[in-house]
Structure 1
Amino acid sequence: MLSRLSRLSRPVALAVCAAPLTALLAVAALAPLPFAIAQPGPTADVLGAKDGRTVISISGAPTRETKGQLRMTTIQATGPSDSASLAELVEMWFRTDRAVLPREAVYPSGGSDEEIEKHNLEEMAKSQSTATEAALGYLRRNPSEVKVDLDLADVGGPSAGLMFSLGIVDKLAGDGGGGELTGGRTVAGTGTISPDGKVGAVGGVALKTQAAKRDGATVFLVPEAECADARTELPEGLQLVPVTSLSDAVNALRALNRGEPAPSC
């Protein structure tokens, strides 16, 4: 065998040697890999209604009418049990409206599709409760007197916390700020919220800025730690405002309403 191979011309010999590698690459290109493909998802105005249901309902305190919008943003990703091939990942890698992410970064809880969906809905429910606590704490309102109901059950995860808190603050009249937060603008954003009003990072912000611009936003509130990520595919005409807390976000929006500069990434 060796002597026969040695008599082959060099191009033929290389082709023979490359055949197993080519076959391996072909298999790899079609084999499922542990990555998810994400894209900009829907947004929802927390000051308005979704699917005919008011997102934020408040009783026990005066509320005000608002003209602007506060839009929470999402990403859509391939399901936890779906698999992308190498060929698909390579194609998506070069698209600005798609992102290739490790599956565990999108679905950190693991488990079956049903278990992950249940986990994400539980995280959203916790986020809504925490957002209410943060907003009422910021406004120094007694939670036993002011009742807040949040209805956005079909979106999973905790990343709408900041926007929920801002929506509650904006709807409650008499917060001492002199009018609605948005100033009639469409403001979008993302970020988790803690009971004391701290804003946390969420991931997928570059895709969320695209969703925000698509749905009419001119201002995007982003966790300060994710400014660099948000700038990577920033749509033209969308102002990035970094925040680390609920009070940061409120103060920045108040500044914009007064015609003053707000912090920028």
Structure 2
Amino acid sequence: MSKKGPLAAVAAVLLAALFAVALLVPLPYSVMVPGDASDALGTAKGKPVITITGHPVRQTSGELRTTTIGATLPDARITLVDAVRAWFATDQAVVPRDAIYPSGKSVAQLNKLSAQEMQQSQQAAVSAALSYLKLDPDTVKVTLDLPDVGGPSAGLLFSLGIVDKIQGDGHGGDLTGGKDIAGTGTITAKGAVGPVGGATLKTQAAKAAGATVFLVPKGECSSAKANLPSGLRLVPVVSLQDAIGSLRALHTGGSVPSC
């Protein structure tokens, strides 16, 4: 009597068991998803995101939305099934856990670092906007308040919000042209715009919030175009002045750069 049949059956059972275990074993990965898209021209938790004193402030229409991404916590159980599902989803991304949560740093430490980056970004955004407007920072005071958001990625939209509240498009209209504009990008005190990552998911957040235009650092055009939601126009920018020029052109019929 041949033992090949029973042995093959046992091997198949063991292989199936190993495969089942592999599907359920936690992996050292995190899943990232689109986050919030807060309006820099509006309010957050009942308070204005941008408060300006020492200079007249204009009423604005339209929106300037900062975009964020969220991620599973470091102790979240991510299995092979979760990773494969996220890999094929257009509104999720799988990344090594250490890319978000460097080993040796607690969540509290990372949150503190993120808050510090946000504060530095806000200071740079105010400096860039007031410099563009040729206003004295000792006379005009700007306070930025966007709770529960960290990191430097809102810098560009903060600067644009300040400019819109003080000057608009410079011709009596809104910088937004009354549209729902979203975007991302760091900014320096001199107005240079830099990349921050996560553009693919941030465009998803922008579309979900109703935006029709997305301002993206020029160096992130390629990633922003991946899985770009229909009806969302990408506009590459390299500086605050560049972004303001593009927004003006959008509602005056001028030439607007494209990714």
Query: Which TM-score applies when normalising by structure 1?
Result: 0.89
| 1:62 is aligned to 2:84 | no
Partner residue in 2 for 1:147: 141
The alpha carbon displacement at 1:21 in A equals: 5.6
TM-superposition CA deviations, 1:27-86 (whole Å, max 9, x none): 332222221111111111000111110000001112211111101011111013324111
Aligned-residue sequence identity (percent) comes to 56
Alignment of 1:38 with 2:32, yes or no, is yes
Q: For the structure 1 residues 43 and 17, does the alpha-carbon distance in structure 2 shift closer, same or farther, using more than 3 Å as the test? A: same
Structure 1 residues 17 and 174: CA distance shift in structure 2, 3 A? closer
* Match among 115, 118, 137 for residue 109 of structure 2: 115
Gaps of 5+ in 2: none
**Ranges in structure 1 where 5+ consecutive residues have no aligned partner:** none
Q: Is the 8 A contact 1:121 1:154 kept in 2?
A: no
The offset of 1:242, in angstroms, is 0.6
CA distance in 2, matches of 1:111, 1:17: 43
| Distance change in 2, residues 1:110/1:39 (3 Å) | farther
- 1:100 is aligned, of 94, 97, 103, to 94
Query: What secondary structure does 2:110 align onto?
Result: helix
Name the residue aligned to 1:248: 242
Distance in 1 of aligned mates of 2:36 and 2:226? 20
Residue from 184, 188, 196 that aligns with 2:190? 196
1:237: how far off?
0.9
Deviations 1:195-234 (A, max 9, x none): 1111111111111111111111111001111111111111
Which whole-Å CA distance do the structure 2 matches of 1:165 and 1:174 have between them? 12
Asked whether the equivalents of residues 250 and 256 of structure 2 are also in contact (C-alpha less than 8 Å), the reply is yes
Any idea what the Cα deviations from partners look like across 1:90-127, whole Å, max 9, x if unmatched? 12111111111222333458611222222212221111
Larger radius of gyration: 1
Correspondence for 1:209 among 203, 216, 222? 203
Q: How many residues align?
A: 259
Shift of 1:179: 2.9
Which of 75, 98, 102 matches 1:81? 75
